[in-house]
Structure 1
Amino acid sequence: MKTLELLLSQNRPLVMGILNTTPDSFSDGGKFLKQGDAIKQIERMLKCGADIIDIGGESTRPGAAEVPEQEEIERVMPLVEAANKMGAVVSVDTSKASVMKEALAQGVELINDVRALQEEGAIEVVANSRAHVCLMHMQGSPRTMQQNPTYEDVTNEVKDMLRQRIAVCTKHGIEAKRIIIDPGFGFGKTLQHNCQLMHLLDELKELECPILVGVSRKRMIGDILDREVDDRIIGSVVAAAYAAQKGAKILRVHDVDETVQAIKIVQAFEKQ
């Protein structure tokens, strides 16, 4: 049986398939609100080679509305159950302690938190489990983060914040081996910030945690290519492959099949 710990020990990047069961996510909002459609998407992503399925019930795009806890639970938990039955390694994308608790009770192996366990009760819930956690850097909040993001040195500031959160988590009993880090592309960052951060992504290796990168179909891809959301697949796949070359261990993507193919090609060349 696959586990996240076993996957992380493999000498290759992992592909995390995104499943947003939301009406307002920037790329696939509304597509998978119906359980049947969402379950079929999980099946498709697993068939295409997704290592992890990341299920989210609240959009974190700029300006997105907050979702009540119970509504988020009702959106996410049936899909967690379905993915578990398919043998998937499941991640839940949430910042709410109550949602985390429900997900962990269902055997979820990864909590993917854009707020890096800073919400009330979140760090205690994860500490009392055996699950991994992904700590993401964000300047501001999803509602306001893109209004005027500023840094003196974005890479060092991202690194410093993640280092601080790792220290807090380990102090609360979350072993370092359970922590994954995400620099948070597009979360309180301009295009220039994002590009600099990607160029220097390998500097995050000094934190000694697996690196997760999520740039799939994001505005930074659209700005570079002058393309709308539905026409950003090639740019997203190239960015994911570049991130893998710079040390990313987990690639969080919408386009699983295309990303898996790209990584297989890169891996074949690297083995020579």
Structure 2
Amino acid sequence: MLSKHAIGKRTFDFSRQIAIMAVINRTPDSFFDQGSTFALDRAVEASIKAARQGADWVDIGGVPFGRGPHVSVTEEVDRVVPVVQAISEATDIVISVDTNRAAVAAEALRAGAHVINDTSGLGDPEMAGVLARSGAHVVLTHSVGPPRVEKPAAHFEDVVRSIYDFFQDRIARAEAAGVTRNHIILDPGHDLDKNTLHTLELTRRLEEFTDFGLPLLVAVSNKDFIGEALDREKQDRLIGSITAMVACIDRGARIVRMHDVPATRDAVVMMEAILGWRPPVRLVHNTHPTHNV
């Protein structure tokens, strides 16, 4: 049973609430936005705009997961920390930093971040200790091997079983280091070191990960599995992204990492209304004898 989670300055009841995580990339080679928020002022502006549009959370990334040129720890810190500082002074939104490096995580947390979104799932042996000492939340994401490098073709005997076993191991590793269990969030890693068939299967079977009793985060927005399923380029995947997100919510996802905040918010509010978690904004239709619309 999911409980309430105090994350940063906000509290979420994941038994009846979906949190919207906006994506802010301070990178020149980001997968979707192609560097549009690489400049510091643009990144801060986009973060504050996302908060105004209804995002509960912003995820700041300084290095993409996919293969590409090396980015030093110093450069990654220089990319993410000023954004964290500026956002934390301007809004009460939850701030996470997408990094797999413990040194970057430590600096980001000192600057005001509340969550580390670790796409390597504690690949850095120092990461769990940093998290335990800070008391921060962590997103444990399933991937295979280090980010930023070329990897062999994806292969799993049972992709869901592999992810499930990975989560068991990484939760145990985090708790052994002193991370509080209710500070752990799980992300099965849509498309990360997986092909489209793997990602579609983990989406169909997402509910199996609710066995852990921890919040599930999904990052499906504009991913290649949507492009390959629909034969759509990155800029034409919004409807597919929203559909995949809703399917994940129906199967237990409670945090959704998405690029288009207004469209996401409409879909999330509609899902919460359908599930009986929130009342309609207004109630007029067929509530009066003369109302025949």
Provide the TM-score with structure 1 as the length reference.
0.95
Alignment partner of 1:8: what SS?
strand
Unaligned runs of 5+ in 1: none
Name the CA distance, whole Å, in 1 between partners of 2:35 and 2:149.
23
2:272 aligned residue: 267
Name the CA distance, whole Å, in 2 between partners of 1:215 and 1:177.
24
The letter of the residue matching 1:31 is S
1:33-182 paired onto structure 2 within 5 Å: 33-61=38-66, 63-85=67-89, 86-144=91-149, 147-182=152-187
1:195 aligned residue: 200
The letter of the residue matching 1:49 is G
Compute the displacement of 1:171 (Å).
Answer: 0.8
The letter of the residue matching 2:88 is N
Name the CA distance, whole Å, in 2 between partners of 1:166 and 1:70.
29
Give the count of matched residue pairs. 270
Compute the displacement of 1:145 (Å).
Answer: 6.3
Compute the displacement of 1:37 (Å).
Answer: 1.2
Name the CA distance, whole Å, in 1 between partners of 2:11 and 2:195.
33
Alignment partner of 2:37: what SS?
coil
Counterpart check, 1:4 vs 2:10: no
Name the CA distance, whole Å, in 1 between partners of 2:227 and 2:79.
29
Alignment partner of 2:186: what SS?
strand
Contact 2:123 2:146 in 1 (8 A): no
The letter of the residue matching 2:99 is T
1:238 aligned residue: 243
Alignment partner of 2:134: what SS?
coil
Compute the displacement of 1:144 (Å).
Answer: 4.5
Q: CA offsets, 1:14-67, max 9 Å, x none?
A: 100000110111101210111111111112111111001100100112x22231
Name the CA distance, whole Å, in 1 between partners of 2:85 and 2:200.
37
Structure whose alpha-carbon radius of gyration is higher? 2
Name the CA distance, whole Å, in 2 between partners of 1:223 and 1:197.
16
C-alpha distance 245-7 of structure 1, shift in aligned 2 (>3 A):
farther
Percentage identity across paired residues of the two chains? 36
Contact 2:27 2:37 in 1 (8 A): yes
Name the CA distance, whole Å, in 2 between partners of 1:145 and 1:137.
17
Name the CA distance, whole Å, in 2 between partners of 1:206 and 1:96.
28
Compute the displacement of 1:251 (Å).
Answer: 0.3
Compute the displacement of 1:241 (Å).
Answer: 1.3
Provide the TM-score with structure 2 as the length reference.
0.88
Name the CA distance, whole Å, in 1 between partners of 2:192 and 2:100.
15
Contact 1:145 1:187 in 2 (8 A): no
Contact 1:145 1:188 in 2 (8 A): no
Contact 2:117 2:140 in 1 (8 A): yes
Q: CA offsets, 1:57-113, max 9 Å, x none?
A: 00112x222310010111111110111012221001001111111111122110000
Compute the displacement of 1:146 (Å).
Answer: 5.5
Counterpart check, 1:185 vs 2:204: no
Alignment partner of 1:128: what SS?
helix
Compute the displacement of 1:190 (Å).
Answer: 1.0
The letter of the residue matching 2:183 is R
Name the CA distance, whole Å, in 2 between partners of 1:66 and 1:235.
32
Contact 1:142 1:187 in 2 (8 A): no
